[in-house]
Structure 1
């Protein structure tokens, strides 16, 4: 469905976040004075009316009957496609679409590399854009990474590096290359079950002419085996890691130690980015030296600096226990106090507990809604390192500062969403930085969003 198809139809936008505002701008630019309705919380109503004065703003949560009164509803990604009101309206004939779907319908000319994965998708997408630009390729960096695609509706680029969340993969149109970096449990509250999450994540395979997959993950290999044009990274015949180097087949190309973002998982993300460029026909070997100039994304194993004789690292993006384990692995033998916990969505922490139970140089501060559950599991496993509880992030940072030895590391890597205390992971990361004694605004920008 293209925006021109909405002329003369009853159209609503649901959500007034950045995605919703991008949709409103695009619709108003193409549909002129056509009536539009916005569903948003009452706290956002005044700002919405100032943003688009002709807009009809409704602050009540729409139910099936209300949504069914529209021909088309443009939904923001955070609203579950499986919400009863959404499913009910669809059953009555309402078309539910999104900014992502509208962009793909409008921009069938774009050469797109779309990246998804439970973890690694943002860094991999940013690496693709960074490396492509290093080759002189005019590249757009957009999507779930922080710039809605509709904000770039009329922009021109030779290559589009697009991050898609599991909420968006089913909305992508035909594209040249899809990349899947990893697959673990996440967002079960939105998808309703692990199986549905996995199925939704892998809907990217349906849109992608060629599919690039992490060959180190058995689940991904099994679930994508039927794709007619599948290629792998992380395996000896492609871009992979060996003996401290990023290699192409048998050839070492770049030293992992020279990569500015720490951890084997980030080196594997670099392999994915190089493999993606190669699959799109670019000279990945020539691009590889630019890896040394890549800057860590905010809230993703982001070194903040030193305070009180301790190093502070912000990994607020970590919303699964596996991501926390990857963060800890990146720090080697350092003495670490890790802050874990947050919104409880029922994920299994047993693998995490088993992995850390033998690490005597590790202390853990379990905070937030699922903090008591995590702390209890750690204590029942007779964890070697010290385990303490804290109700809030403020208390957790204070406890971590007291626990961390001089020269040690305080790591925020919660392994859980932020919604028990914060609007999102970025707000949590900024608050952590502030509590640690750093400027929260100085750590927040993502380099390279848009076209360059």
Structure 2
């Protein structure tokens, strides 16, 4: 659905965060007189009213009856279409779309193709992969736009005719919106699949189905998939060409060495890509570059000048013999395990826990039990902290791991400092969202930095967003 197709329809905007406001501005630029209703929190109604838009009203009573009164509801990504009121409204004929739907419909060609566009998704690593891809394309002299879930709504991108490539990060909340636009990217990258966002999707199976809509429904020309992921390796895509990474005949790692087939390319260990999983994602990036018809081997060395993203295994620095690492974006136990692996040679106190979405921590527990992960201490916090503590208690006792519960992040850091008397790493890698304690992972990471004695502003900027 294009913005012009909203004319004459009863339209609601559900959510008044950054993406909701970007959607409002984009619609107003094209349809200044279209009546719009913003469905938002009671504390946001005054902000909407303050705009002084006579064709705009705000409501905070979001019920099934309310939603059913609209022809189209453009919802923010964090709002699940599986909520009972949304399901009821859908059954009454309301169509739910997202800002991604509008942008993709606006930019697709006559054949429904988003030419020279790469969409990236995955449970973990998608932001680093997207920004690294944009970095390498720019290093090759190509004007590239970087936007999406990484921190810049698509509808905030200016129209720039000199853009050669678009790199778009998509969350599982957005992949279905792309498919709903009727458009598909030239290249789609799926990195990995682990249980995540179960409260939004309702089940692990639905999460996987929604995530995979990027390749199963949007029908990209080329799908770049991880051969090492068991779910992805079994995928059949009759409408798309598949190019694999992490396989011996393509881009892959042998230890820390990067290979294209049997040809050695370079050592990845010195690269500013913390963790072997991130160096593995370089293989995804180079496969995508090849899928665009470019010389990936020539661009690969430019990974050495890549600037790591904030809140992703971000080493803040050292204070009083302790190194502080901000991995606030970690929202799955698998991400926490990957973080531990990066510091396995050091004494680590890991801070875990947050909003409870019902994700299973058994794999984390098994890694501790098997000695695959060996922190000195595990400190739990947040809503799911007690559940994690109970699961890990017998393992921690057997393995000699200090295990304790904290009331909040500040208390967790005090406990970590008390355990690491001879120095080590204080690792914030929660494996869970921040909701209920913080607005988002960025606010959580900034608070961690401040508590550790570092300037939150200096560590939070995401490099490379927009067009460059």
TM-score (norm 2): 0.94
Q: Which runs of 5+ in 2 are unaligned?
A: 110-114
Residue 361 (structure 1) shift: 5.0
1:167 corresponds to = 173
1:121 is matched with 126
Separation of aligned partners in 2, 1:348 and 1:392: 22
Q: Match for residue 28 of structure 1?
A: 28
- Cα 1:352–1:49 change in 2 (3 A) is same
1:289 aligns with 2:301: yes
1:376 maps to which residue?
A: 390
Tell me whether 1:242 sits opposite 2:254 in the alignment.
Answer: yes
SS at match of 1:213: strand
3-state SS of paired residue (1:312) = strand
Native 8 Å contact 1:39 1:61 kept in 2: yes
Residue 137 of structure 2 corresponds to residue 132 of structure 1: yes
8 Å CA contact retained: 2:147, 2:167: yes
Q: Deviations over 1:198-231 (max 9, x none)?
A: 0000001121121111111111111346564111
Q: Which residue of 2 aligns with 1:149?
A: 154
Residues 340-349 or 216-225, more deviating: 216-225
User: What's the CA shift string for 1:77-133, capped at 9, x where partnerless?
Assistant: 111011122222222122211100000000014421000000011110111100000
Checking the alignment, whether the CA contact within 8 Å between 2:147 and 2:153 is kept in structure 1 is yes
1:341, 1:374 within 8 Å by CA — same for their partners in 2?
yes
Deviations 1:250-275 (A, max 9, x none): 12222111211211101011111111
SS at match of 2:351: strand
Tell me if structure 1 keeps the 8 A contact 2:286–2:296: yes
- The CA deviation at 1:193 is 0.5
Indicate conservation of the 8 Å contact 2:351/2:379, yes or no: yes
Provide Cα deviations, 1:176-199, integer angstroms capped at 9, x if missing partner: 111001100000000000000000
What secondary structure, in the 3-state scheme, does the structure 2 residue paired with 1:122 have?
helix
The Cα shift of 1:58 comes to: 2.7
1: CA distance, partners of 2:154 / 2:374: 46
Alpha-carbon spacing, 1:361–1:344, altered in 2? closer, same or farther (3 Å): closer
Alignment correspondent of 1:187: 197
**Aligned pair partner of 2:312 in 264, 289, 300:** 300
Residue 441 of structure 2 is matched in structure 1 by: 425
CA contact (8 A) 1:74 1:96 kept: yes
Q: Which residue of 2 aligns with 1:318?
A: 330
Match of residue 355, structure 1, among 354, 367, 379: 367
User: How far 1:340 moved relative to its partner?
Assistant: 0.6
How many angstroms apart in 2 are the aligned matches of 1:233 and 1:375?
Answer: 37
| Distance verdict in 2 for CA 1:198–1:29, change over 3 Å | same
Distance 2:271 2:176 in 1: 33
Tell whether 2:50 aligns with 1:50: yes
- Contact 1:334 1:408 (C-alpha < 8 Å) held by counterparts: yes
Distance 1:311 1:51, change over 3 A: farther
Find the partner of 2:208 among 190, 198, 216. Answer: 198
Name the CA shift for 1:88/1:137 in 2 (closer, same or farther; >3 Å): same
- What value does the CA root-mean-square deviation take over the aligned residues? 1.5
Query: What's the secondary structure of 2:269's corresponding residue?
Result: helix
On the 8 A contact 1:140/1:449 being kept in 2, the answer is: yes
1:10 aligns to what?
Answer: 10
Q: What SS does structure 2 have at the residue aligned with 1:166?
A: coil
Aligned residue-pair number:
452
Gaps of at least 5 residues in structure 1 are none
Query: Following the alignment from structure 1 to structure 2, what is the Cα–Cα distance between the partners of residues 428 and 352?
Result: 22
1:252 paired with 2:264, answer: yes
CA distance in 2, matches of 1:38, 1:65: 15
Is the Cα contact below 8 Å between 1:261 and 1:301 reproduced in 2? no
Tell me how far apart the structure 2 counterparts of residues 337 and 416 of structure 1 sit (CA, whole Å).
Answer: 17
Residue number in structure 2 paired with 1:438: 454
1:202 aligned counterpart, secondary structure: helix
Within 5 A, what are the aligned runs for 1:378-397? 378-381=392-395, 382-397=398-413
Deviation at 1:52, TM superposition (A): 5.6
Partners in 1 of 2:266 and 2:49 — Cα distance? 52
Name the structure 2 match of 1:79. 79
Question: How far 1:360 sits from its partner (Å)?
Answer: 5.4
- CA-CA distance at 1:57 after TM superposition: 3.4
Q: Give the 3-state SS of the residue equivalent to 1:70 in structure 2.
A: coil
Q: Which moved more, 1:22-31 or 1:365-374?
A: 365-374
After the TM superposition, which of the residue ranges 153-162 and 306-315 deviates more from structure 2?
A: 153-162
